[in-house]
Amino acid sequence: MFGFRTKDGRQLCVKRTATGTVLADGKDVAYELITGVTRVEREGSVAGHLAYDERAIFGLDPSVAHLFSSVPRDMKAPHIGYLPATAIVGEAAAEDEWLTASLNDAPAQACAFDFMKEFAKAKTGIVYEGGREGPIEYGAFFQSGDATCGGVTRKTLHSNPPWNGNPTWGSPFAEFDAALPATKEPLTLRFAYGREDGSVESDGISFIVLVDGKEVFNKNTNEKKWHEAAVDLTPWAGQKVKVRLVSDIGPAHNNSWDFAAWADPRVRVGPIEAKVGVVMPGGVAGAYDDTGARLVAEAATGRFVVRMPARVTFVSKAAEAALPADLMDLPYKTYDETAGGMAAGSQYGSGTKSTLDIAGDKRAVILGHPPMNGRTVLRFHLTLPAKAAKLAFATSLMYTQPADGDGIRFIIACNGKELWSRETRTAGWVETEVPLAEFAGQTVLLDLVTDSIGKNWHDHSGWAGVKIEG
Ligand SMILES: [Ca+2]
Ligand SMILES: [Ca+2]
């Protein structure tokens, strides 16, 4: 406990409590932070935190200081009304007609092997063409430290492939001797992977996991964002295994700017499914995870079974789009999405209707201009017809970017699942068709997204002729 004196002579004290810290002048609380716990049972709320019931606020990330408020919880607003103690809520947002949230394991969940802690004992090296292995050299590294993807910094093991004087292509790896516990509970390797923000140009990195030489995970990405991953290790329970993480330079063997990061890899003990209850004023018409899978509700409780980690989308009922549907004529909302979350907002006119003239080809558009290190989301809430439909549109930057532009990415996402994207630094209409068949007959959040990739300089852009067609 220690004190501050204010300009008007009052004495404010910071007190540690069981659930965080309080700054107070006697009984007069200036502010209170909740930290170190996932749940508090009391009146009040945490601004922006969407998991609570009448009794408690829950699903709090204990590593984050949450600003507590005496404002009562809004039981009628869309929120997560049930979540098991094994789960916490990351980034979340809601309007009356939808709720999206990132769900992850509570850190207290039992950990059988922590790759970060065991890293000093790991063997690192480079695997070359033909499978030959050598030590870390030629400018390569595989080390522990903070890394940032999509503006979000996490504790990681991160790597760079060999490049300086390397006679052939190769990829860095770290290999761990892990004694997995003999348990009947599921064992799951959990981590997040991504291409670091400092990487200028990369054709992608393949994040590969081998258990005793057997490939159990292989995902290629060139996106500067965290992708959560879960790999089932239950078949190896009770065994001593070699777990190898390979930051592979990709199928084209292009090592350029392959700054690869593995965030918080660990082996979790326990089920990876969580049951999630959601309260929405209009009821829940559809529930999805970010693979596009429809979540099934338990008949008895109405709770949805979610495979963790997941980014989940819940939607209320929406009118069915009559085909062909011109999205310029349908209602939509414009949001800014950054590391700080998602909120209604516009950047340099993003979300407004205008025209773009690209070398004399002038078209009506909805403007897209992302925020710095973020995205503009044009969100349509609608029900797709039962018959398979497709989305047709054209995209362009307003002008070709000069040397200090880092490009833009246009993305189509449906219920949080990315269906299409393209990255560009040059102006020119590109016509695209994206099938929507997998969402036929379903209520969706259809997002037209412009991602700044990093800087939002010269990212003026537009979406033209966006139509849902049969
Ligand atoms: Ca590569
Ligand atoms: Ca940019």
User: Rounded mean pLDDT of 29-41?
Assistant: 92
**What one-letter code names the amino acid at 206?**
S
pLDDT at 248 over 60: yes
pLDDT of the residue at 182:
95
Tell me, in angstroms, the distance from the centre of ligand 2 to residue 375's CA.
10
Tell me, in angstroms, the distance from the centre of ligand 1 to residue 367's CA.
32
Tokens of 451: 């991602």
Kindly list the protein residues that place their beta carbon closer than 5 angstroms to ligand 1, a single-atom ion.
Answer: 203, 249-250, 254, 258
Write the burial class of residue 46 (CB in 10 Å: 0-12 exposed, 13-18 middle, 19+ buried).
buried
User: Rounded mean pLDDT of 178-189?
Assistant: 94
pLDDT of the residue at 13:
85
Tell me, in angstroms, the distance from the centre of ligand 2 to residue 91's CA.
23
Q: 130 φ, ψ to 5°?
A: 85, 0
Note whether 111-269 and 325-469 share their fold: yes
pLDDT of the residue at 10:
76
Tell me, in angstroms, the distance from the centre of ligand 2 to residue 447's CA.
19
pLDDT of the residue at 15:
87
Looking at every residue in the chain, the average pLDDT score rounds to: 93
pLDDT at 308 over 90: no
Q: Which bound ligand lies closest to the C-alpha atom of 397?
A: 2
pLDDT of the residue at 340:
76
pLDDT of the residue at 396:
98
Under CATH, which architecture does the 325-469 domain have? Answer: Sandwich (2.60)
Give residue 3's pLDDT band: very low, low, confident or very high (50, 70, 90): low
Tell me, in angstroms, the distance from the centre of ligand 1 to residue 254's CA.
4
Tell me, in angstroms, the distance from the centre of ligand 2 to residue 372's CA.
8
Kindly list the protein residues that place their beta carbon closer than 5 angstroms to ligand 2, a single-atom ion.
Answer: 406, 452-453, 455, 459
Bridge partners (DSSP) of residue 145 are: 156
Q: Which bound ligand lies closest to the C-alpha atom of 459?
A: 2
pLDDT at 11 over 60: yes
Tell me, in angstroms, the distance from the centre of ligand 2 to residue 407's CA.
4
pLDDT of the residue at 67:
94
What is the residue extent of each domain of the chain? 2-75, 111-269, 325-469
Q: Which bound ligand lies closest to the C-alpha atom of 260?
A: 1
Give the 3-state secondary structure of residue 284: coil
Give residue 228's pLDDT band: very low, low, confident or very high (50, 70, 90): confident
User: Rounded mean pLDDT of 137-153?
Assistant: 94
Tell me, in angstroms, the distance from the centre of ligand 2 to residue 423's CA.
10
Q: Which bound ligand lies closest to the C-alpha atom of 410?
A: 2
pLDDT at 364 over 70: yes
Tell me, in angstroms, the distance from the centre of ligand 2 to residue 409's CA.
8
pLDDT at 1 over 60: no
Give the whole-number percent of the chain exceeding pLDDT 70.
99
Higher pLDDT, 347 or 10: 347
The CA distances from residue 405 to 223, 224, 254, 338, in Å, are: 17, 16, 23, 19
Give residue 2's pLDDT band: very low, low, confident or very high (50, 70, 90): low
- Say how many Å lie between the first and final Cα of the chain, rounded: 67
Tell me, in angstroms, the distance from the centre of ligand 1 to residue 146's CA.
21
pLDDT at 7 over 80: no
Tell me, in angstroms, the distance from the centre of ligand 2 to residue 449's CA.
13
User: Rounded mean pLDDT of 87-112?
Assistant: 90
CATH 3.90.950.10 fits 111-269, yes or no: no
Tell me, in angstroms, the distance from the centre of ligand 2 to residue 137's CA.
33
pLDDT of the residue at 239:
98
Tell me, in angstroms, the distance from the centre of ligand 2 to residue 424's CA.
9
Q: Which range (24-33, 278-287, 340-349, 371-380) has the least confidence?
A: 24-33
Neighbours of 95 (CB within 10 A): 17
Q: Which bound ligand lies closest to the C-alpha atom of 257?
A: 1
Strands 408-414 and 443-451: antiparallel
Q: Write the pLDDT tens digit of every residue in 45-82.
A: 998 899 999 999 999 999 899 999 999 999 999 999 99
